[in-house]
Structure 1
Amino acid sequence: MSGPAVRADNGLIRVAFAARTSTYDQQDPTLSIPRQLNGCHRALPDNAVIVAHFYDIESGRKDLAARGQSRAHEMFEIPVPRDGGIHDLLEEAARPDRRFDVVICEEIGRVGRRAYISNEIERRLEQLGVRLIAADEPFQLGDVGRRAKTATQVLTRRVKQGVTEWYVLEMLEKSWDGFETHTQQGYNVGKACYGFRADPVPHPVPAKRAKGIKKTRLLMHPIEGPCVQRQFQWRTTERLGYQAIADRLNEDLALNPPPTPVEPDRAVGFWTYSSVRDILTNPKYTGHMVWNRRARKGAGKNKVNPVSEWVWSVEPTHEALISLETFVQAQQVSARRERSRTKPGLNPAPESKRVYRLRSYTSCVHCHRRLFGNANHAGTVYYGCQPKKAYRPDGHPPMFRVREDELLIGVNKFLAHEVFGPYRRSLFAAGRADQEQAATKERADRIAAIERALRENRSRSTNLLRTLEVAADVTDEFVRDVNNRRVELQAERTRLEEQLEAIEVQVREAVNPELLDYLPIAGVDLDLLPDEVSRPLFEALRLEIHYDYETRTAVCRITLTGDTVLAAGRAATEAVAALPKQRSARSEQVCVVPPAGFEPALPPPEGGALSPELRGP
């Protein structure tokens, strides 16, 4: 910063103009850049002349390496010539034939909003013999001798750098708080997501309302909304992958119109893997307004933020297309299906030669990883587990394998007797009836007690208000006591409602053996079913096979819920219909074929879950 300015041979001091304005959607560069230039002209002495102009249209909070890459200046007719951006300025300053020896800016915040960035630029210029001055700071150009006094200039600059960074951080924090309040009030940010349409409402600020500025809420789209609901249904009941759902949607684009991006020119005209994923991971369909799901600035721009950083409205603010429970189930499918394709049959890779019937359903009970399929030279198919050493639990062998045909025998036995056999209810209920009956009665008694306590709470709240209305001598102390009591009653009501909701969740998830009645009684032989039929059946039943290499046993488990049992029944019926007339002896032993077009006579129950399992070698 110190040192005399170098004069050209004609006695003039050559100066470069450095400027920056914020992002183009927040500022008007056609006004800001000329204004900054005029301010610099007024601050320079008569013997100083600006010979080069460097400016950018970008945020001043970017790291220096990321600066100067914006091409936003091309969108405007700025009446100031441009020789480049900040990196062009630094590059020319390092050349021996540079055109300037002083750089001037309107104020130091135009160089960088973060103190360490503006300090870095200042230091690099100083090392090259180039002074950085600001029009709003005291400075002196010309021959001032070896002991130039710059202490006041340094103090002024450092204070302004601190104030600049403080100001930006404070504005960001206030802006964050504003967006949180905006979200809690149910207003949408940006384009309405697929499945909704924007419902503009007058802006609450009169000045903005006078300009026609509006805020928007979300209303269900009559065509897109049901399409969203279908996607969540397929995801949770059939556990289809994103691409499988996209393929199904593309079969009827009139019924399932594809989404239009913010930039319509980028529309592809059909459903893709990513467009389905964006819908199935968007929590706004639960009726809650959610903000800050993606980063919008910095190196992680447009990346998904951790769920802990999402801002949710406390209460639903618009019509829900799905329940919160359905949304959670869809995310659980994502976790289970990670790196596993939905489509049956051979892998599309050219080198694929065989189908692994139980891929993605078999896991290790010790490391919880899915087993991978392979085959030896004789064609025997195995499933193996070979975790890396860093992820291998104590006692886990470097690798183990289990034969597929042995697993299929156990799965066949499990499905034939426990799931589709005529005595499945008896097998499942053995030893559990008394326990489940006691638990059901306990939950019912607890619900009745909480509902009774809620009625009493509401009655006490009403009586408290009546006491206040008829009181003859209302003192400040009396009002304070009433308010304190109201707070206590409200806290008690909130606690009781939370307890009631928790028990209702337990009721919905309680074991319900009646769900087995919605499956056909039939024989299903996996040896006779193609992968195109058995895989949808496994998905509908939520089949899980947990293999224990120590005991060489596998646990087979399926899960039925009120939401998925009809899909499971249809998949089972299709599997039975696909069996050839020439059936194996094993399937004939347990086969009771249902009538064609089997459908349960009753609708599925609203709640309840069932997870029968079978252990076997």
Structure 2
Amino acid sequence: MIVAHFYDIESGRKDLSARGLGRGHERFAIPVPRDGGIQDLLAEAARPDRRFNAVICESIDRIARRTYIGTQIENRLEQLGVLLLCADEPIILNGKRASQILTRRVKQGVAEWYVLELLEKSWGGFEAHTEQGYNVGKPCYGYAADKIPHPVPARRAEGRTKHRLVPDPVCGPVVTHIFALRVVERLAYREIAERLNRDLDRYPPPTPVDPDRALGRWTGSSIREVLINPKYTGYMVWNRRATKKGGSCNPPELWVWSSQPAHEPLVTRETFLAAQKVAAQKERSRSAAGVNSAHPQAVRSYPLRSYVFCAACRRRMFGKTRIPYSYYACVPAYGHRPEGHPPAIYVREDRLMDGVSDFFARRIFGSARWHYLDHALADGTNRAMDEYQAKADALRRAIADIDSRRARLVRTLETTDDPIGDLVQDIHARAARLAEERAAKHRELGDLQQVQPVRSVPELLDVIPVGTADLALLPEVVLRRLFDAFRLEIHFDKPTNTATCRVTITGDTLQAIRQVTATALQRVEEGAAEELPICAVPPARYGANLRRLYLRLLGIGWWSRAVSTWSRGARSDHLSPLRGRTLDPVDDNRFGAAAGRDRRRCFLPAHA
């Protein structure tokens, strides 16, 4: 007598803990009343007042498509005193179940094999589909579907089609622009979205598969989806998303790539890889200048924020103010502190700014920049090339040695008149191991040749104009654009108390560098005229300390020559040798190499 019906509409390959929780049965008009799913069945079987003493199913593979899960359910029911029977098996109640169990286990194994084989063939079909350059699903933003008749005649007769990707004339340039904003200006996802939302007619937002979910604007997540999609490089890629994990991204090693470009690219492969690196460098850091409005306790901004790194732990240093100075600090947690790392590392912001200003003034905008660049290239490039060449030569020598050993094995076999069976087997085994070693060395050499040292192009420096740049005169907005365009990195080493500045100029960023450099130099000239007025000499009755403070407010307080002259009485005859001259700093070491600031000019009025 049947007292209850338990069934589910779900995959039989799920874990037991995930079974019976779906609501797929509600989508079907099944005329059989349902008392619950597999979890309800097991729960009622454990109760003393259960309504049944046996459970019967159509076939054992209906319980689960995995042998382990099926036997687990069977054992749990047996421990509770409930028999598990199958309609396609002989029902034996006399206790002799050996043949029944053998038949059941064979059927379970066949059922699991059938599913695995089906999955493997389906996977192989998608791999072939990807290799041929066909797209799966809706075309990604920036591309349109170029539908072609299905290559299989039966499917073609049904009206089925396949499609490749072709650039969309409206949305394609938007994708290229998004990558440019990310790589060149290094903007965050949200800032790129805000910039695109200013002109939605020119930069139309993407439309999801379900139009009802469309927001009608760009968001940070939609920008991220564009930047992490490798299809824009021209290659067809499949299996980026996990269908069983809520659409989460699979690791790149599980992606299936076409061996050759399948459609017209919207960005180069180098640009795509550069965009992926920005995320790691800009993680948890704002791109916008100014005070962080999202933090209620933020009262000031730090112009070098996100550019300063600790050389000991490679972490980004954060801004911290201890009146009267601002610092950049690295205070890692105790458990994440590398060996030899101090509990806290601080470096003053003004000294870093002086060094960075000197770096740009001398090595980027200065007339002698070629001298510094030639010296740096001769040192760094030669070292990298020497290391690369040494590794390549070592691998080639190893391959040659393996070839010589294989040749000796062949000669041994040739010179042996009547080789015995064991000798032949040993020679074959040794030859197989040498072949594996040789293939491994060839793979290492191939991988090494793909990551050759980057070729330097010093000619890119000629595109940057020569000029005098005092970064202290630039507003923070322009300053950050300049640093982002040059991809500035500052690595501070506490033991040596030195900071290393590094900038990168590429072909992709060249146009943006020219624009932001021209803007920066123009603002420096305008700022020099506006912010550095003609110096006024304070009256003689003021004390030396007040005069020194007065000069400091004018931005020339460290020029002790003028201060000492005024402190001796501030008479015009004492100042006459300085009238109309440019004052130079006396002690540069107090402020580091402040080459950017020593170009400020302060003329004393003729009536002083």
TM-score (norm 2): 0.73
1:263 and 2:210 matched: yes
1:82 and 2:82 matched: no
* Distance (Å, rounded) in 2 between the aligned partners of 1:560 and 1:423: 18
Q: Deviations over 1:477-513 (max 9, x none)?
A: xxxxxxxxxxxxxxxxxx9xx99x979987xx53333
Is 2:358–2:596's contact at 8 Å kept on the other side of the alignment? no
1:110 and 2:62 matched: yes
Q: Which residue of 1 aligns with 2:510?
A: 565
AA matched with 1:330 = A
1:221 and 2:168 matched: yes
Q: Which residue of 2 aligns with 1:474?
A: none
Q: Quote the offset at 1:271 in angstroms.
A: 0.9
Q: Which residue of 1 aligns with 2:304?
A: 358
* Distance (Å, rounded) in 1 between the aligned partners of 2:380 and 2:211: 59
* Distance (Å, rounded) in 1 between the aligned partners of 2:131 and 2:376: 50
Q: Quote the offset at 1:431 in angstroms.
A: 7.9
1:513 and 2:458 matched: yes
- Aligned pair partner of 1:148 in 85, 95, 99: 95
* Distance (Å, rounded) in 2 between the aligned partners of 1:591 and 1:415: 16
* Distance (Å, rounded) in 1 between the aligned partners of 2:6 and 2:211: 34
AA matched with 2:202 = L
Identical amino acids, percent of aligned pairs: 55
Is 1:186–1:313's contact at 8 Å kept on the other side of the alignment? yes
Q: Quote the offset at 1:379 in angstroms.
A: 4.6
Q: Which residue of 1 aligns with 2:89?
A: 137
Q: Which residue of 1 aligns with 2:574?
A: none
* Distance (Å, rounded) in 1 between the aligned partners of 2:45 and 2:376: 85
Is 2:329–2:344's contact at 8 Å kept on the other side of the alignment? yes
Q: Which moved more, 1:380-389 or 1:552-561?
A: 380-389
- Aligned pair partner of 1:234 in 181, 184, 205: 181
Q: Deviations over 1:189-211 (max 9, x none)?
A: 11111111122222222222222
AA matched with 2:137 = G
How does 1:537-576 map onto structure 2 within 5 Å? 537-576=482-521
Is 2:490–2:500's contact at 8 Å kept on the other side of the alignment? yes
How does 1:267-416 map onto structure 2 within 5 Å? 267-297=214-244, 300-347=245-292, 348-376=294-322, 378-416=323-361
Q: Which residue of 1 aligns with 2:531?
A: 582
1:206 and 2:153 matched: yes
- Aligned pair partner of 2:114 in 148, 167, 191: 167
Q: Quote the offset at 1:394 in angstroms.
A: 3.1
- Aligned pair partner of 1:534 in 468, 479, 494: 479
The change in CA–CA distance for 1:375 and 1:504 in structure 2 (over 3 A counts) is: closer
Q: Quote the offset at 1:220 in angstroms.
A: 1.1
* Distance (Å, rounded) in 2 between the aligned partners of 1:543 and 1:210: 60
Is 2:320–2:326's contact at 8 Å kept on the other side of the alignment? yes
* Distance (Å, rounded) in 2 between the aligned partners of 1:591 and 1:218: 57
Q: Deviations over 1:200-258 (max 9, x none)?
A: 22222222222222222111111111111111111111111111111111111111111
Q: Quote the offset at 1:565 in angstroms.
A: 1.9
The change in CA–CA distance for 1:417 and 1:591 in structure 2 (over 3 A counts) is: farther
Is 2:149–2:160's contact at 8 Å kept on the other side of the alignment? yes
1:251 and 2:198 matched: yes
Q: Quote the offset at 1:564 in angstroms.
A: 0.8
Q: Which residue of 1 aligns with 2:416?
A: none
Is 1:198–1:219's contact at 8 Å kept on the other side of the alignment? yes
Give 5+ residue unaligned stretches, structure 2: 386-441, 533-554, 557-594, 602-608
Q: Which residue of 2 aligns with 1:71?
A: 23
The change in CA–CA distance for 1:77 and 1:381 in structure 2 (over 3 A counts) is: same
Is 1:416–1:590's contact at 8 Å kept on the other side of the alignment? no
Is 1:106–1:134's contact at 8 Å kept on the other side of the alignment? yes
Is 1:421–1:590's contact at 8 Å kept on the other side of the alignment? no
AA matched with 1:218 = L
AA matched with 1:92 = E
The change in CA–CA distance for 1:521 and 1:93 in structure 2 (over 3 A counts) is: same
AA matched with 2:12 = G
Q: Deviations over 1:559-592 (max 9, x none)?
A: 1112212211212222334443224677575489
Q: Quote the offset at 1:540 in angstroms.
A: 0.5
Q: Deviations over 1:398-439 (max 9, x none)?
A: 2211111111111111112211223323443358689999x9
Rg larger in structure: 2
* Distance (Å, rounded) in 1 between the aligned partners of 2:176 and 2:341: 43
The change in CA–CA distance for 1:434 and 1:407 in structure 2 (over 3 A counts) is: closer
How does 1:467-506 map onto structure 2 within 5 Å? none
The change in CA–CA distance for 1:591 and 1:202 in structure 2 (over 3 A counts) is: farther
Is 1:421–1:523's contact at 8 Å kept on the other side of the alignment? yes
Q: Deviations over 1:279-319 (max 9, x none)?
A: 1111101110011112112xx34222221111110000111
* Distance (Å, rounded) in 1 between the aligned partners of 2:62 and 2:451: 59
Is 2:135–2:165's contact at 8 Å kept on the other side of the alignment? yes
* Distance (Å, rounded) in 1 between the aligned partners of 2:324 and 2:195: 34
* Distance (Å, rounded) in 2 between the aligned partners of 1:105 and 1:548: 71
The change in CA–CA distance for 1:122 and 1:307 in structure 2 (over 3 A counts) is: same
Is 1:523–1:588's contact at 8 Å kept on the other side of the alignment? no
The change in CA–CA distance for 1:78 and 1:264 in structure 2 (over 3 A counts) is: farther
Is 1:237–1:563's contact at 8 Å kept on the other side of the alignment? yes
Supply the RMSD in Å over aligned alpha carbons. Answer: 2.8
- SS of the residue aligned with 1:524? coil
Q: Quote the offset at 1:95 in angstroms.
A: 3.0
Is 1:105–1:111's contact at 8 Å kept on the other side of the alignment? yes
- SS of the residue aligned with 2:495? coil
Q: Which residue of 2 aligns with 1:484?
A: none
* Distance (Å, rounded) in 2 between the aligned partners of 1:431 and 1:109: 69
Q: Which residue of 2 aligns with 1:191?
A: 138
Aligned residues: 476
- Aligned pair partner of 1:91 in 28, 32, 43: 43
Is 1:524–1:591's contact at 8 Å kept on the other side of the alignment? no
The change in CA–CA distance for 1:99 and 1:503 in structure 2 (over 3 A counts) is: closer
Is 1:422–1:521's contact at 8 Å kept on the other side of the alignment? yes
- SS of the residue aligned with 1:54? coil
Is 2:271–2:508's contact at 8 Å kept on the other side of the alignment? no
* Distance (Å, rounded) in 2 between the aligned partners of 1:126 and 1:181: 46
Q: Which residue of 2 aligns with 1:58?
A: 10
Q: Which residue of 2 aligns with 1:16?
A: none
How does 1:395-474 map onto structure 2 within 5 Å? 395-429=340-374
Q: Quote the offset at 1:102 in angstroms.
A: 2.2
Q: Quote the offset at 1:551 in angstroms.
A: 0.5
The change in CA–CA distance for 1:516 and 1:104 in structure 2 (over 3 A counts) is: same
* Distance (Å, rounded) in 2 between the aligned partners of 1:306 and 1:504: 21
